[in-house]
């Protein structure tokens, strides 16, 4: 039996005769090209559309936060909020920091989407974008532009199939705010994810942010079918009709009320409170089912 103390064993050497300590001492990171890493945010919220008739239930609008770039490249173009990851933080910490700096909110739903790493996606240098999706209750938001932006604004957003020819699809991403209107076009094969799509028209969006937005829409819509994700867009108290409106504006389709209420029943908890001063018959208010949410999480 070998009774040699462990600390007297000779250190392992590589094919060049170097120990790990020697290898690390002579290692030169500059010998290898390294990408910069950014964290870009797709921040969704849902707001009430302006309604002249106070007796009519307000329609919902899906909105996305964009910032107008204040410097090169893409000076003056609209882009997703984001920035470079600092050496002292993870990509998720960078995303949370950007979210807090742009909206003033923290502790909201945050999910990593995908790492976009096409070599030519940024004209400055090799930049990989670790993208994130955040869902925010609009009543909590205070928008402010960061240091590298001239302006920040919530754009009404829609994403629809525009044309299909066999297995070839063209999708339209439409964004509007006051007198600003942009439409980006993306092409892909049927069944392929939007991470593999081609941007045929960027619609004046910076970088490849049209592709990131398209994939965020795909992720959000997909997860609405089997999670309570939409509830992160709701205030603390809401009616079932308001919740259905949020599902419909995200999915871009009408849902049968009876079927929706059956689907929503396990996700919400009934309260003893009712709507007030809304010009129509009071409706019961609900809140997120915390127990069910914890099981899903």
Could you give the residue numbers annotated as active site?
Answer: 151
- Backbone phi, then psi, for 187, in 5-degree steps? -120, 140
Burial of 134 from C-beta contacts in 10 A (0-12 / 13-18 / 19+):
buried
* Contact in structure between 175 and 182 (CB atoms under 8 Å): yes
Tokens 């005769």 label which residue?
17
Q: Which helix (H) or strand (E) holds 290?
A: helix 290-296
| Sign of torsion over alpha carbons 261, 267, 273, 277 | negative
- Per-residue burial over 29-54, b = 16 or more CB atoms within 10 Å of its CB, e = otherwise: eeeeeeeebbbbbbbbbbbeeeeeee
| CA-angle at 62, arms to 108 and 217, nearest 5° | 75
For the chain, the farthest-separated pair of C-alpha atoms sits apart, in whole angstroms, at 90
| CA-angle at 212, arms to 102 and 161, nearest 5° | 125
Both tokens of 278, joined, read 């809304």
- The alpha carbon of residue 270 and the mean position of all alpha carbons in its chain are separated, in whole angstroms, by 29
Residue 258, Cβ neighbours under 10 Å: how many? 8
Residue 162 CA to residue 159 CA, distance in Å, equals 9
Half-sphere exposure of 206 (CA within 13 A, CB side): 22
Q: Using DSSP, state whether 139 is helix, strand or coil.
A: helix
């Amino acid at each position: 039996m070998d009774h040699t103390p462990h600390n007297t064993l000779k250190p392992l050497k590589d094919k060049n005769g170097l120990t790990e300590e020697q290898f690390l001492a002579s290692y030169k990171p500059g010998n290898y090209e390294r990408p910069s890493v950014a964290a870009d945010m797709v921040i969704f919220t849902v707001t009430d559309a302006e309604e002249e008739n106070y007796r009519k239930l307000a329609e919902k609008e899906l909105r996305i936060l964009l910032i107008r770039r204040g410097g090169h490249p893409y000076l003056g173009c609209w882009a997703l909020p984001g920035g470079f990851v600092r050496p002292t933080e993870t990509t998720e910490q960078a995303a949370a920091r950007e979210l807090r700096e742009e909206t003033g909110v923290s502790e909201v739903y945050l999910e990593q989407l995908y790492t976009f790493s096409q070599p030519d996606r940024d004209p400055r240098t090799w930049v990989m974008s670790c993208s994130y999706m955040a869902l925010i209750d609009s009543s909590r938001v205070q928008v402010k532009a960061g240091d590298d932006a001239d302006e920040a604004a919530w754009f009404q957003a829609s994403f629809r199939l525009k044309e299909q020819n066999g297995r070839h699809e063209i999708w339209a991403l439409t964004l509007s705010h006051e007198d600003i209107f942009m439409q980006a076009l993306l092409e892909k094969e049927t069944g392929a994810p939007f991470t593999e799509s081609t941007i045929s028209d960027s619609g004046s969006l910076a970088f490849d942010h049209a592709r990131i937005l398209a994939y965020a829409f795909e992720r959000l819509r997909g997860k609405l079918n089997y999670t309570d994700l939409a509830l992160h867009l709701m205030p603390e108290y809401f009616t079932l009709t308001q919740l259905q409106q949020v599902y419909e504006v995200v999915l871009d389709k009408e849902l049968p009320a009876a079927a929706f209420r059956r689907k929503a029943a396990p996700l919400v908890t009934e309260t003893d409170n009712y709507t007030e001063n809304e010009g129509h018959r009071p409706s019961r208010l609900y809140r997120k089912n915390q127990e069910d949410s914890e099981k899903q999480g």
